[in-house]
C-alpha cells in the first residue's frame, strides 16, 4: 500500500489537531516502510509508538471537545475506545506471530481518513466557534488549559 500524502481535505481547520493527525499519518507511513523492509522488530516498535501516540492524541482531542462543550463528546469517546481496542487486537495478533501489518495499515488508513472527515470535522466546527468567541483559547502563550493538556497527554514525549 502506498504512502498517505497529507492533503488539505484532511484538515479540520484546527492547527494543533491537524499537526497531531499528520504525525499519525507519518507513523502509518513508517509502518509501511518497516513492513517493506520485513523487519519484525521495527514493525513491532512502530505499532507500539502508533498506539501510544494515538492514545495521547485521542485524550487531547477529548479534552478539547469537553473544553468547547461539544455535545456529542461521549459518542466520540466510544468511537475512540473501539478504535484503540481494535489496534490492540492487531498488536496481540502480531505478538502471536501473525503477519498483520498490511491489514493493520489498510484498516488504520481507511479508519483515520473517514474519522477525520466525519467525526472530527463535526466537533471541529463547534471548537472553532468557541475559539472565535474566546471561550476556547488555543494560543500557547495565553491559554491556561492548553499547556496543561499537552503536558498531560504528550508530556513524556516532548
Least CB distance from residue 156 to Fe ion, whole Å?
A: 21
Long-range contact list for 23-28, CB < 8 A, 24+ apart? 23/53, 23/57, 24/50, 24/53, 24/54, 24/57, 24/112, 25/112, 27/53, 28/4, 28/105, 28/108, 28/109, 28/112
Between residues 83 and 94, which has the closer beta carbon with respect to Fe ion? Answer: 83
Between residues 14 and 43, which has the closer beta carbon with respect to Fe ion? Answer: 14
Least CB distance from residue 68 to Fe ion, whole Å?
A: 13
Between residues 33 and 81, which has the closer beta carbon with respect to Fe ion? Answer: 81
Please choose, out of 3-11, 61-69, 141-149, 150-158, the segment that lies near Fe ion by the rule CB under 5 A: 61-69
- Contact between 126 and 68 under an 8 Å Cβ cutoff? The reply is yes
Least CB distance from residue 142 to Fe ion, whole Å?
A: 25
Between residues 35 and 80, which has the closer beta carbon with respect to Fe ion? Answer: 80
Q: Does 62 bind Fe ion (CB under 5 A)?
A: no
Q: How many CA atoms lie within 13 A of 21 on its CB side?
A: 26
Rounded-to-integer distance, Cα 53 and Cα 23, Å: 8
Site for Fe ion in 100-139 (CB under 5 A): 120
Least CB distance from residue 120 to Fe ion, whole Å?
A: 5
Rounded-to-integer distance, Cα 148 and Cα 63, Å: 11
Give residues with Cβ within 8 angstroms of 26, minimum separation 6. none
Between residues 32 and 120, which has the closer beta carbon with respect to Fe ion? Answer: 120
The residue sitting closest to Fe ion, measured at its beta carbon, is 120
Binding site for Fe ion (CB under 5 A): 61, 120
Amino acid at each position: 500500500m502506498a504512502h498517505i500524502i497529507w492533503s488539505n481535505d484532511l484538515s479540520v481547520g484546527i492547527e494543533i489537531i491537524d499537526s497531531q493527525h499528520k504525525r499519525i499519518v507519518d507513523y502509518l507511513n513508517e509502518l509501511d516502510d518497516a513492513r517493506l523492509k520485513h523487519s519484525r522488530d521495527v514493525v513491532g516498535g512502530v505499532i507500539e509508538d502508533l498506539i501510544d501516540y494515538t492514545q495521547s492524541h485521542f485524550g487531547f482531542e477529548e479534552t478539547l471537545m469537553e473544553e468547547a462543550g461539544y455535545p456529542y463528546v461521549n459518542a466520540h469517546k466510544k468511537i475512540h475506545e473501539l478504535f484503540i481496542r481494535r489496534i490492540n487486537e492487531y498488536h496481540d495478533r502480531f505478538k502471536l506471530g501473525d503477519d498483520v501489518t498490511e491489514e493493520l495499515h489498510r484498516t488504520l488508513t481507511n479508519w483515520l481518513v473517514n474519522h477525520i472527515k466525519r467525526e472530527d470535522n463535526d466537533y471541529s466546527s463547534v471548537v472553532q466557534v468557541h475559539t472565535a468567541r474566546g471561550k476556547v483559547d488555543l494560543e500557547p502563550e495565553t491559554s491556561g488549559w492548553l499547556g496543561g493538556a499537552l503536558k498531560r497527554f504528550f508530556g513524556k514525549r516532548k
